[in-house]
Amino acid sequence: MKKTYIVNAIWFVLVLALATVFIWYFYSSTVLDRCYWNNIDSDFCYSVASLRFLDNYPTGFVEHTAAGEGLPVVQMLSWFYLIIAKMGLLNEPTFASLTIHNDPLVHLQQFVKKGWIFGSTIYLMVVTTVFWFTRMLSRSNVASFVASLLTIISWSNIQFLLRIRSEALSACLALISLYLMFKTVKSSGLRLFTFNIVISSVCLALALFAKRNSMPYLFLVPSVLLLVPQTSLERSNNESRGLLFRCAIIGNLVLLPPLLPLLSYWPEFVGSFSIILMFVLVGEVLGFVFIISIFVFVIFVLRTYIYKTSIENHGSLGKYVGDTLIYLLLLCIGFEVAAYISFVHPVLNRYMLFLIITIVAAGLLTVFTNARGQNLVNVVLNWLRSHIIGIRTILLVIVLTIAWTYVWYVASRSFVPLSTNIEIAVSRSFFEILHPQSSVSFLSYGDNTSLFDYLHSVYSSWLSHYRNERWPELLVILLAISQAVRANHTRHIKHIIFLALVGMSLLFFSALRLLYPFYIIYEDIATIIAVSIAFAYIINVSRDSLKNKTSPNLSTIFSFAALMLILVAGVRRAQETFVMQAQFTSYGCVSPPSGDTCMCDPYYAGSRFGGTGLKDVIERQYGLDCMQAVEMRAEKGIPIR
């Protein structure tokens, strides 16, 4: 076993080395000193928002957008600025320094460039996730290496080395959430099952905070339960399930009440707010939660019929309801933890204080119980065993929840200096997740005059992508399916089919906007894993055929065809990267930028509507209208550092 870990680690180090070399080559060829305002739609938004975040101002980007997205990127980029500034590689990262600089457009250059370098960390995160996800499902280091190599050279991932955007982080965190769900259904014990679901939910929440395009994962992640006949949850006895249910309730009782005051910001996100609209809003939120709950319940029921087990042997409908509630409660804990993570800030705030107190209290209890020769988990479980959930318990829970919420609310009003403006951003993120009707960021009718024409155009773009760009990958998957049917191993390729469908559904959701070049990464990394697993399966079948001398010629042909298709896919991806790279770096700095979304737009860059305030800074420092100042500064050229 130890030898296997060493071999896996060697392959992984090789992958990281190749990815690092590629990053170095790519930045050397594109040059970090290129003009930094070619993609101001994202670069300027995130850089300025991160500076405002460090100064404890509203970011001016996350809180007011139609989708309430980008907070994890702003947060991580801010910490990245802070760390490298401490290392002496960056000037003081504050919004105040930008407002007093006599040439703010030039002052921003260093932050945009460091933001590009920050993108390389997310690039490596994506490569790492693809490697270990493929390794877990294929048990093949060669397949994992192939998957990582395709990810390293794919423009869907590389493009985020050249711009600061949230799609790569969102897609990576969502994929990690799916990976952890696979670990969940394979876990042998109930504790590991619980831990993996909670961490998976944390990653999913942060992915949604970063970009709403990961919304399908709310339904894709629990769908992994359909791939296994039984999990550790079903294998556990009623007492263990009851204890897990009570623990999940207690976890929510501790973590949820401090977040409830964030609902007070929701009226700000709805135009023409009224009492009647409040009831409509509550109904729509509950409706969306109900849809997710029913979906999870149906999954637990479907597993009975897919794997041919009777309800009497597998459990009653009440048991399925209990399993659904356990999953949803653990999902809520994950989202609550993600919210507290979003409050981590260089300036102490009450949510960070609560998180610190909770961690310290848990640590002290652990030390105290260990000193007495006890285990904290067993102490908690024994206490829970003595408390049966009944009417009185439920009433007590309600009273304690109301009391805890009130105490937190009073404390939050008493310690205003500990508050930060992140509250609005976190509240907005939750609002957009629980009330997706308020956001049409994933819809773009374009020039279509009817809903039918719109859906037809979405389907056409979805189909043309697979027909023109992904046909080698689809052929590899079809070869694996045909090989499995021929060998009567259809159950062995369910992961391949599932991940291929995941990629297709994510692409369709992204195509709803019709402008989805940035969103291809959601589909691409899932498809790469599916193709690599398919390739590993074909090679394994060919090896077994040669060993058993059963139809070796046909299996060899399948393997050779799959290898050729993988090579074609790799060449096509590399060719696309070189073409797009040349187009991306062909702009000069002596002409003004092609757009003004995050530089001079009054909604994104102004201060009147809650934007970043960059427009006001430019006009004040240069003494001209924003775009006139930008054009004048562009004619002078941007000095190379």
Residue 438: is its pLDDT beyond 80?
no
**Neighbouring residues of 388: CB distance < 8 A, sequence distance ≥ 6:** none
User: Which one-letter DSSP state was computed for residue 229?
Assistant: S
Residue where the block lists tokens 């860059």: 605
CA distance 17 to 116: 19
Segment 522-551, tens digit of pLDDT: 999 999 999 999 999 999 888 877 776 655
- H-state helical runs in 140-228: 141-153, 155-158, 167-186, 190-210, 217-223
Residue 18: is its pLDDT beyond 60?
yes
Of 163, 188, 181, 158, the closest CA to residue 45 belongs to 163
Of 531, 520, 539, the closest CA to residue 569 belongs to 531
pLDDT of residue 381: 55
Residue 470: is its pLDDT beyond 60?
yes
Residue where the block lists tokens 């947060």: 75
Segment 199-235, tens digit of pLDDT: 999 999 999 999 988 999 999 999 999 998 888 888 8
Segment 319-344, tens digit of pLDDT: 888 899 999 999 999 999 999 999 99
Across residues 297-322, what is the average pLDDT?
A: 75
Across residues 602-623, what is the average pLDDT?
A: 84
Dihedral angle, C-alpha 204, 208, 214, 219, nearest 10 °? 50
pLDDT of residue 181: 96
**In the structure encoding, which two tokens stand for residue 64, read together?**
């007011």
Residue where the block lists tokens 């071999």: 7
Residue 310: is its pLDDT beyond 50?
no
Of 570, 572, 539, the closest CA to residue 556 belongs to 539
CA distance 620 to 155: 39
Q: CB of 115 within 8 A of CB of 77?
A: yes
Residue 97: is its pLDDT beyond 50?
yes
CB atoms within 10 A of CB 246: 20
Give the three-class secondary structure for 237.
coil
Segment 159-169, tens digit of pLDDT: 999 889 999 99
**In the structure encoding, which two tokens stand for residue 109, read together?**
């250059």
Computed over its alpha carbons, how large is the radius of gyration of the chain? 26
pTM over 0.75: yes
**In the structure encoding, which two tokens stand for residue 196, read together?**
């993996």
Give the three-class secondary structure for 554.
helix
Give 188's pLDDT tier (boundaries 50, 70, 90). confident
Residue 419: is its pLDDT beyond 70?
no
CA distance 405 to 228: 40
247 vs 60 pLDDT, higher one: 247
pLDDT of residue 516: 72
Of the listed ranges 91-105, 267-281, 439-453, 622-636, the one predicted with least confidence = 439-453
User: Which one-letter DSSP state was computed for residue 639?
Assistant: P
For the chain, what percent of residues have pLDDT higher than 70?
82
What does pLDDT average to over the chain?
Answer: 84
pLDDT of residue 376: 54
For the chain, what percent of residues have pLDDT higher than 90?
39
pLDDT of residue 226: 92
pLDDT of residue 215: 92
429 vs 492 pLDDT, higher one: 429
pLDDT of residue 296: 95
Across residues 419-436, what is the average pLDDT?
A: 84
pLDDT of residue 371: 60
Phi, psi dihedrals of residue 32, rounded to the nearest 5°: -70, -20
